[in-house]
Amino acid sequence: MAVTDRRRPRLDKAARHARILAEMRASATLRVGDLATELNVSTETIRRDLFELGEKGLINRTYGGAVRPFASEPSVTERHGLMVAEREAIAAAAVKLIKPKEVIAIGAGATTTHVARRMAAACRDLTVITHSFSVATVVSANPTIDVIMCPGRYNAREGMMVGVETAEFLQNYNVNRAILGVSGITTDGLADAEAPAAWVYRAMMNRAAETIIVSDHKKFDVPSLAIWARIPEIQRLVTDQPPEGAVARALGRARVEITVADA
């Protein structure tokens, strides 16, 4: 049970629920103990709050906490303002794996855009294939990097092209490395909140000699809507903190090489 501080004012239930939902928008996963400490209430109170929010479909309860509802994720514009230092560190570590003259497929997302920005500053003589307008925009600042933009149906919320045309277009290319983000990683695999994007990531992975996942630690043990890869299908994970628990064991069994960036 969390120890409450009587000197701190306590929020009423409506205010607690609003704070919990605000925290959920900023972080994919929440823990009962952390919420109890932050909101200065008992763990039993937090569990009741999470139960009520879960009954309304606003969160998904887990053992020990809660995660966002499946297919619920802030827009890419909102995500650009979150975990900035961690994503910059992940990007710096990821680009060290890239060699000149390579063909790189990059998926849409906030973390992958950080990678593209770092690529533009640190890499040269590459071909980049992407379905993301933000990735194409930042990486094209480097005149030695050729950009190939995938066709398809435009998803304005994520600033990306998706659909059958996108996946079929990717079949025309051989790729050295695919650099992809995720909405969540569990023992079931890698998943995205946007099912159409998931199928594009799958197509990129299938064309690549190596798949590099770039993800901050808050995506670990978080389920999401559309599973597009199983853990043994990826080769590398670049993150800001080492994974723990069942996800760490699954990555270890699959011999996925893990790079922990120094933030």
pLDDT tens profile 163-208: 999 999 999 999 999 999 999 999 999 999 889 999 999 999 999 9
Residue 55's pLDDT is: 82
Residue 62's pLDDT is: 78
Tokens 């629920």 correspond to 17
The region of weakest confidence among 1-5, 147-151, 200-204, 213-217 is 1-5
pTM of the model: 0.73
Contacts of 143 (CB under 8 A, 6+ apart): none
Angstrom distance (rounded) from CA 221 to CA 241: 13
Residue 176: its H or E element: strand 175-180
The percentage of residues in the chain with a pLDDT greater than 90, rounded to a whole number, is: 68
Ordered structural domains, the chain, with CATH: 13-67 (1.10.10), 76-260 (3.40.50.1360)
Residue 115's pLDDT is: 97
Tokens 């995205």 correspond to 192
Tokens 């990129």 correspond to 204
Exposure string of 214-225, with b = 16+ CB inside 10 Å and e = fewer, is: bbbbbbbbbbbb
Residue 118's pLDDT is: 96
Structure-block tokens of residue 159: 């600033």
Structure-block tokens of residue 30: 């929440």
Mean pLDDT confidence for 110-136: 96
Q: Mean pLDDT for the chain?
A: 89
Mean pLDDT confidence for 30-45: 90
Angstrom distance (rounded) from CA 190 to CA 233: 10
